[in-house]
Structure 1
Amino acid sequence: MTSPVRYAPSVETVEPDEAETVRDLEASFKEILDTTSKDYGHAVRSVHAKAHGIAKGTLSVKGGLPPELAQGLFATPGEHEAILRISTNPGDILDDSIALPRGLALKVLGVDGARVAGSEGDTTQDFIMVNGPVFNAPDPKAFAKNLKLLAKTTDKGESGKKLLSGILRGVEATLEAVGLESATLQQLGGAPQVHPLGETYYSQTAFRYGDHIAKFALVPVSPALTQLTGDTVNVTADRPDALREVVREVMIEQGGTWELRVQLNTDLDAMPVEDPTEEWDEKASPYVTVATLVAPPQLSWTPGETEGLDDALAYSVWNALDAHRPLGGVNRVRKDTYTFSQDYRGRFNGCPLHQPKTLDELA
């Protein structure tokens, strides 16, 4: 493999109007949150509001990693408590028959080291990933435009969304049959109805990786999960929470094992930091395993109980070590907007959110 690019602040290009874009994003977040909080009498996330499963486990950092991979969290072999959350992306809680991209957020606890600004005093490292290698917007402005559209469709006729989802899913399936796909169609309701536990999840955006730059992926490796890869879930009108059901069935019987992998940047031109719609070539720089996540058999969702745990969790790419600083415009504008959403939830629900030190705090 070509030598990895060394990190320097100059790998980022900050646009002069990013503060304005942040204000636009916060306005869209507020519109979503105002709508859903009024509907539910309770504040949920402005994106990825519906969880399909939450599981506790252990992240084990590999020993003997080469110097370019033994960076930040992964510099020292050892075990960390971790908790993952599986979701879909809208800010309203929809019937699972509406086909949307799957998301996975992983929080690693007990992480020591210098922190990014705003995360001082915490000991968590968050990874937020989606089941596709590229983001659906090339820059902060396009991200804000997409979120504005999502805000305008929040709470607008679930029956219409189901109909649209069916149409878009048909179009997307046609594209996939000829080797193409559309992140936009998937975002609007045309995503494949795949089993969440069989999917590989990608950070999509770039991050500092100690002395280098990288993207992350979480890959299922235990047979209980890999046999689900590509499987579709039967989502019908009488199964509005079908994804919770199928995730629960697997997790309670077998649990799961994933590998956390890293793709190092080896060419800033071919692997841009500022445009997350560009997929980094895995032939030029393959994903390499740096840690293993094991979640033992457990209840991933218990109605009347798991909702409280879900409320207590807050994920952000900016809950991070400085060694894994988020990079690129999309990540930069996420910082204040995710904090805005988290603070809104805390105020509305009368319970300010904080980062846990141990899993026992979340019991």
Structure 2
Amino acid sequence: MSVSAPIRYSLDLEAVEPDEMEVVAGLNETFDTILETTAKDYGHAVRSVHAKAHGILKGEFEIRSGLPAELAQGLFATPGRHTAFLRLSTNAGDILPDAISLPRGIAIKIVGVDGERLAGAQGRSQDFVMVNGPVFQTKTADKFLKNLKLLAKTTDRMEGTKTVMSSVLRGVNTALETVGLSSPAVQSLGGAPNVDPLGETYYSVTPFRYGDHVAKFRLKPASSDLTRRTGSIIDASVREDAIRETVQAEMRDTRAVWEFQVQLCRDLEAQPIEDPTVEWKEEEAPFVTVATLTAAPQDSWDDAQVQAVNEQMRFSVWTGLAAHQPLGNINRARRETYEHSAQFRARFNGCPIHEPRD
């Protein structure tokens, strides 16, 4: 079927709510509850979301040549190769046993990117933060805040209770999937299947400026070493770090290749800017590959690399080029809250955040 021409980016695509700064203040206050609790528990500050990393990889991001004009935008206007750092994670704000199964995330930092930067974006990197599902759990940041307040109350050393709850919720989510449904809300509470993160497809979920246009992003496994692990379940019943150990063992002889894809917005009603709970259907807005991300076999839990990336770097959708400005209410709320969390870690751990330049 034919698809419509891509929507042109303009400032009036966003609808800013009058209470957004109040909501951001509430998010920061609630994140502080999580950050302070976990820092006290561990004696070390961790991220307020996606605290637990399962693997740190170094790779190469290769932008394709010969892209059509509508895709040769921003970072992707210039073919070439860039060093990239990847962080595989689970989305909770406390470091839990892997038996508590939650959605997976991947954060990508592409180094050596030139061009006009977003206000306050230091260094020369372009970050992409993605999860293994196409939609966000709430439409707006104020609704997310309500959920976050509930989760903040459970942030502590309650692993036994959470493990039981996760098992029950996995059953609920499996039942929903058998009738063609799945629940982001159930998954976010611990009902996600305990899948191998190396086989997952990851989505930006929220929209971004794409130079002259608007887009969402997807990272899709391409090499057979990854695709054969898609849907593979990791038994985490007896090992707290089963996912990390599995990824580490697999990456010793895995050639990981992903396709980085762009989905241009073509209809503002079918692909809304301000509602990330709506999936942009692929048949109406197809994904197109614009780059390849490759990670050679390596130690995915190398001490030096874990220190450099997991401890000393931050990943934020607001680190990057003005041509890829985050759009929508959820993205606007992420700007200050990501910075707030990173600064807390830096202060508590006495370790400044480093943004690589080369």
Settle same-fold status: TM greater than 0.5: yes
1:255 is displaced (CA, Å) by: 3.0
Match of 2:80 in 1: 78
Is 1:104 equivalent to 2:127 in the alignment? no
Q: Deviations over 1:38-67 (max 9, x none)?
A: 011111101000000010010000000000
Match of 1:197 in 2: 198
Q: Which amino acid aligns with 2:131?
A: V
| C-alpha contact 1:201 1:218 (8 A) present in aligned 2 | yes
Q: Deviations over 1:195-228 (max 9, x none)?
A: 1000000000000000000000000100000000
Match of 1:316 in 2: 316
1:12 counterpart (11, 14, 35): 14
- After superposition, the Cα gap between the structure-2 partners of 1:260 and 1:48, relative to the gap in structure 1 and judged at 3 Å, is same
Match of 1:147 in 2: 148
Q: For structure 1, which segment, 151-160 or 17-26, has the greater mean C-alpha deviation from structure 2 after superposition?
A: 151-160
1:146 is displaced (CA, Å) by: 1.8
Q: Which SS does the other structure have where 1:153 is aligned? A: coil
Q: Distance in 2 between matches of 1:218 and 1:328?
A: 21
Q: Structure 2: which 5+ runs fail to align?
A: none
TM-score of the two chains, using structure 1 as the length reference: 0.96
Q: Distance in 2 between matches of 1:353 and 1:199?
A: 29
- How does 1:1-363 map onto structure 2 within 5 Å? 1-119=3-121, 121-237=122-238, 239-302=239-302, 306-307=306-307, 309-358=309-358
Q: Distance in 1 between matches of 2:309 and 2:273?
A: 34
1:305 is displaced (CA, Å) by: 6.6
TM-score of the two chains, using structure 2 as the length reference: 0.98
Q: Distance in 2 between matches of 1:156 and 1:149?
A: 16
Q: Structure 1: which 5+ runs fail to align?
A: 359-363
| C-alpha contact 1:51 1:88 (8 A) present in aligned 2 | yes
Q: Which amino acid aligns with 1:339?
A: E
Q: Distance in 1 between matches of 2:213 and 2:55?
A: 33
Alignment RMSD: 1.1
Q: Distance in 1 between matches of 2:83 and 2:148?
A: 33
Q: Distance in 1 between matches of 2:144 and 2:68?
A: 36
- Over the matched positions of the two proteins, sequence identity in percent amounts to 57
| C-alpha contact 1:169 1:189 (8 A) present in aligned 2 | yes
Q: Which SS does the other structure have where 2:284 is aligned? A: coil
Q: Which amino acid aligns with 2:171?
A: G
4+ runs of 1 displaced by more than 2 Å? 302-309
Q: Distance in 2 between matches of 1:199 and 1:333?
A: 26
Q: Which amino acid aligns with 1:344?
A: F
Q: Which amino acid aligns with 1:32?
A: I
Match of 1:361 in 2: none
Q: For structure 1, which segment, 40-49 or 245-254, has the greater mean C-alpha deviation from structure 2 after superposition?
A: 245-254
- After superposition, the Cα gap between the structure-2 partners of 1:333 and 1:157, relative to the gap in structure 1 and judged at 3 Å, is same
1:25 is displaced (CA, Å) by: 0.4
Q: Which SS does the other structure have where 1:253 is aligned? A: coil
Q: Distance in 2 between matches of 1:268 and 1:152?
A: 37
| C-alpha contact 2:255 2:296 (8 A) present in aligned 1 | yes
Q: Which SS does the other structure have where 2:153 is aligned? A: helix
Q: Which amino acid aligns with 1:68?
A: E
| C-alpha contact 1:264 1:285 (8 A) present in aligned 2 | yes
1:304 is displaced (CA, Å) by: 8.3
Q: For structure 1, which segment, 285-294 or 247-256, has the greater mean C-alpha deviation from structure 2 after superposition?
A: 247-256
| C-alpha contact 1:165 1:190 (8 A) present in aligned 2 | yes
Q: For structure 1, which segment, 75-84 or 147-156, has the greater mean C-alpha deviation from structure 2 after superposition?
A: 147-156
Q: Distance in 2 between matches of 1:35 and 1:198?
A: 33
Q: Which amino acid aligns with 1:311?
A: E
| C-alpha contact 2:85 2:309 (8 A) present in aligned 1 | no
Q: Distance in 2 between matches of 1:137 and 1:23?
A: 18
| C-alpha contact 1:262 1:290 (8 A) present in aligned 2 | yes
Q: Distance in 2 between matches of 1:74 and 1:179?
A: 36
Q: Which SS does the other structure have where 2:94 is aligned? A: coil
Q: Distance in 2 between matches of 1:308 and 1:112?
A: 22
| C-alpha contact 2:55 2:87 (8 A) present in aligned 1 | yes
Q: Deviations over 1:228-258 (max 9, x none)?
A: 0111111113x11010111112211123000
Q: Deviations over 1:254-286 (max 9, x none)?
A: 230001000000001110000000000100111
- After superposition, the Cα gap between the structure-2 partners of 1:5 and 1:133, relative to the gap in structure 1 and judged at 3 Å, is same
Q: Which SS does the other structure have where 1:52 is aligned? A: strand
Q: Which amino acid aligns with 1:299?
A: D
Q: Distance in 2 between matches of 1:69 and 1:303?
A: 38
Q: Distance in 1 between matches of 2:66 and 2:173?
A: 43
